[in-house]
Amino acid sequence: MAKKRRLDLWDYLLWISGILILGWAFLKATGIINTAQWILMIPYFAAGLAILGCVFKAGKISQSIENMSTDVKDLKTKTIDIDKNLSSLSSRVALREEQIKKIDDRMLEFQNPKR
């Protein structure tokens, strides 16, 4: 089952900055926003927030990839251990099968003695 993804601060930051840029562009295109200096800076602030959010998101993704690589290394070592244990078990099973065959042969001799 897929794990439900939870939004964090940086996801919200990306969405808010995208909405700010689109809203500013729409309001500027319709003439509602006049060109006051602080209003001209809105897209730059929004773009800065978007870049900041992307950088932090990329860092989280990078950290997740590193965690996955260490998990894969751990799995490889555990797989090697399992292979060794399986090899040991198969040799023990082969020994027991040989012993059972000898016992079966003795039982057959006992049931059908040679005259």
pLDDT for res 2? 59
Domain carrying residue 67: 9-110
Question: Does a structural domain hold residue 49?
Answer: yes
pLDDT in tens, 8-24: 777 788 788 888 888 88
pLDDT in tens, 43-91: 888 888 888 888 888 888 888 888 988 888 888 888 888 888 888 888 8
Tokens of 57: 């998101």
pLDDT for res 3? 67
66: Cα separation from own chain's centroid: 10
Domain count for the chain: 1
pLDDT for res 52? 84
Question: Does a structural domain hold residue 3?
Answer: no
Higher-pLDDT residue of 110 and 36 is 110
Q: Tally Cβ neighbours within 10 Å of residue 114.
A: 4
Instruction: Please report, to the nearest 10 degrees, the dihedral formed by the alpha carbons of residues 19, 25, 30, 33 taken in order.
Output: 90
Residue 39 confidence (pLDDT) above 80: no
Average pLDDT over residues 100-111: 86
1: Cα separation from own chain's centroid: 13
Handedness of CA 10, 12, 42, 23 (dihedral sign): positive
Question: Does a structural domain hold residue 115?
Answer: no
Question: Does a structural domain hold residue 41?
Answer: yes
Mean of per-residue pLDDT scores for the chain: 82
